[in-house]
Each structure stands twice: as C-alpha cells, then as structure tokens.
Chain A
Amino acid sequence: GQQVMQIPQYQHVQEGEDFTTYCNSSTTLSNIQWYKQRPGGHPVFLIQLVKSGEVKKQKRLTFQFGEAKKNSSLHITATQTTDVGTYFCAGPWVSGAQKLVFGQGTRLTINP
C-alpha cells in the first residue's frame, strides 16, 4: 500500500541551529500537508503544498514539494525553543481523496 516515510525520526539541536525533516512517498502525491504536534498536544496544520517544485515560507519555516511530487521537506532556520515538537507530513491516500496517510514524524528537541 501507499507509504509515506519521514526522516530522521529524532533530531536534537542547539538553539539557533537549523533543522530539516524529509518526507518521501512511494507514489506521486496530489498534495502534501505538514502538521506540528507539541508534546502532549494534538496535531496542528501548518501548510499544504500542491504544485510540483513549490516552495512556501512561513517566517523561519521553509516548505518544499519535489519536482516529481513524491518528496517534501521542512526546514527551520535558527531554531527556537518554541519549535519543539513532532513534525508530520501527510499525503492523500489516493489522488484527490481526503483520507490521509501520515509519515511517522520527526521529533525535534532543542537545547537552550
């Protein structure tokens, strides 16, 4: 079945360092979504990418969708302690469907 793999599973950085998580799908995705989950909390939507090669920025966060629409990345510049949490990517089960398959997530911890 369709799989969405995310690496790394864990990342520990010093505050101020950059952070990147990568998401790879076994199939072409019509879109990809990114979510953040704080410890003890629920996932919160960050962004959706739809176009091949799309790049979107939200302050210190940069999201990319690969040209083949099978991979994506989230890069955080100069991490802050508020960035702590688990970052998930998610893609539609089949093209256009609302059923999402989530990656395993990357858990980010930060040393202040």
Chain B
Amino acid sequence: NAGVTQTPKFQVLKTGQSMTLQCAQDMNHEYMSWYRQDPGMGLRLIHYSVGAGITDQGEVPNGYNVSRSTTEDFPLRLLSAAPSQTSVYFCASSYSSGEQYFGPGTRLTVT
C-alpha cells in the first residue's frame, strides 16, 4: 500500500494564480482532511470529508475549495493564491476510529 500520497511536493505560485493540490489514499478510508501547518500554529483544518460527495469546512476554509468524487481522491483547490497561503499542506485520511494517516506534505510558496 502506498498509504496517503500528495503531489506536488513543492510549488511556487504568483499571487492570483490558481492550482490544485492532489491527495490520494489506497486504504479505503472514509474520512479525509486537509490541514495547513504554519510555524508556531500547529495544524489547522481547512476542509474535511466523511465520504464521497460529502465535504465540510474546517477552521480556515477561506480561499480553498474541495470536492470528493471518489473514496480515494480529495483534491484541494486554491482559487486565487495569496502570500498568506504560503504554508505546508498536509492531507490525511482515517477510519472512524480517528487515527489519522498523513501524507508527506506539499510545501507551497506564494510570491
């Protein structure tokens, strides 16, 4: 099993550009989440899904869109990138037990 995979590993965007961060899992987990990690602030939940076709907002959803058309994939879209979105982004998946499996992360810089 590959677990949780994320692409790309690194990305540099200019302000105003849009892009999609990809996340896939092969563990048949129902739950998937996107977090951003900034220095000194831990991990903050952006968006969340409890299954295909169902998504919900987290703490910091503004500027981000998600969709969940399949169990395996949960892409995160940045609509119009801003320097405040410079961060490390982690995707995670879990069963209902709560233990989260994290992907390796995407380091995004917006200039």
Q: How distant is the Cα of A105 from the Cα of B33 in the complex, in angstroms?
A: 19
Q: Is A33 an interface residue (CB 8 A)?
A: yes
Q: Are B31 and A98 in contact (CB under 8 A)?
A: yes
Q: How distant is the Cα of A100 from the Cα of B102 in the complex, in angstroms?
A: 13
* In the complex with contacts A92-B98, A98-B96, A99-B33, A42-B42 CB distance below 8 A: no
Q: Are A42 and B58 in contact (CB under 8 A)?
A: no
Q: Is A66 an interface residue (CB 8 A)?
A: no
Task: Please tell me the number of chain A residues within 8 Å of chain B, measured between CB atoms.
Answer: 24
Specify which chain B residues have a CB less than 8 angstroms from the CB of A44 in the assembled complex. 102
Specify which chain A residues have a CB less than 8 angstroms from the CB of B58 in the assembled complex. 99
30 intermolecular pairs with C-beta atoms under 8 Å apart? A1-B59, A33-B98, A35-B100, A42-B90, A42-B102, A42-B105, A43-B92, A43-B100, A43-B102, A44-B102, A45-B100, A88-B42, A88-B43, A92-B98, A98-B48, A98-B50, A98-B98, A99-B33, A99-B48, A99-B58, A100-B45, A100-B98, A100-B100, A101-B45, A102-B42, A102-B43, A102-B44, A104-B40, A104-B42, A105-B42
Give B49's nearest chain A residue, CB to CB: A98
Q: Are B99 and A48 in contact (CB under 8 A)?
A: yes
Give B40's nearest chain A residue, CB to CB: A104
Q: How distant is the Cα of A100 from the Cα of B32 in the complex, in angstroms?
A: 11
Give B102's nearest chain A residue, CB to CB: A42
Specify which chain B residues have a CB less than 8 angstroms from the CB of A93 in the assembled complex. 45
Q: How distant is the Cα of A99 from the Cα of B45 in the complex, in angstroms?
A: 8
Specify which chain A residues have a CB less than 8 angstroms from the CB of B35 in the assembled complex. 102
The contact size tier of chain B is 20 to 34
Interface string of A88-112 (1 = CB under 8 A from B): 1010110000111111110000000
Specify which chain B residues have a CB less than 8 angstroms from the CB of A48 in the assembled complex. 97-99
Closest 5 CB pairs of A and B: A42-B102, A102-B43, A102-B42, A104-B42, A98-B31
Q: How distant is the Cα of A6 from the Cα of B43 in the complex, in angstroms?
A: 13
Q: Is A80 an interface residue (CB 8 A)?
A: no
Q: Is B94 an interface residue (CB 8 A)?
A: yes
Q: Is A27 an interface residue (CB 8 A)?
A: no
